[in-house]
Chain A
């Protein structure tokens, strides 16, 4: 999927464990408008399942999910 909208915010959750990647993302996304993109960087291996579950409960969209070495990158669109 081609992403044309620029990323509005990046949450650096590298080195942080559960539940901080989700909690920091939830706090950051509050300040964004509907349709905005937010990028999350994490090293918690559990974050992949957590972000999938989180998008299901919140209705936000997981646009992209990738891994680069030990760093997970999630691109999310606010509902």
Chain B
């Protein structure tokens, strides 16, 4: 049994007005919106770890994928995406897919991520790709940014399954204005 602290007994009317952290559902964040912006391996890792942890704790979670952070939504087997040479060059230089992310520091032409994933495997840490799948299984909503998708030339068939409809900034702001706690990662 978990230990419970002895509290003075107060009349119900008084107790109801208090911010009791022990009370079920009281003063807790119930919705989180993660803005996945960087596309870096370590930050996408943080995004997927927090998203799965929150969803496992019955917190409603949405992740908005934008700019460099849009690349993890592309199917890892896609190599070159885009319509014109600039978009194609972009995917050539910055390989899309959650399995191909780079570290923002100590990347060393891919040696860094390779070693990091080797360490992760040794210590039983799930990779961002596995965590994203678990996030979906836990009901996390994955929302693509329409602007990033258009500008970088990604098509719907380039992206993984189970995504929400792409939206823009106004939808993100509306979610925050309505009480979702934003995390910009």
Contacts and interface: CB of A to CB of B under 8 A. Distances in A.
Nearest to B48: A19
A33 interface: no
Given A27-B137, A27-B138, A22 B53 contact: yes
A17 to B, nearest CB: 4
A41 B138 CA distance: 21
Contacts of B137: 27
B150 interface: no
B52 A19 contact: yes
Nearest to A19: B53
A63 B138 contact: no
Nearest to B57: A57
Contacts of B63: none
Interface string A55-75: 111110111100000000000
20 contacts: A1-B1, A17-B123, A19-B49, A19-B52, A19-B131, A20-B124, A22-B56, A22-B57, A23-B53, A25-B56, A26-B55, A26-B57, A27-B56, A44-B124, A52-B2, A54-B57, A56-B22, A57-B58, A59-B24, A59-B25
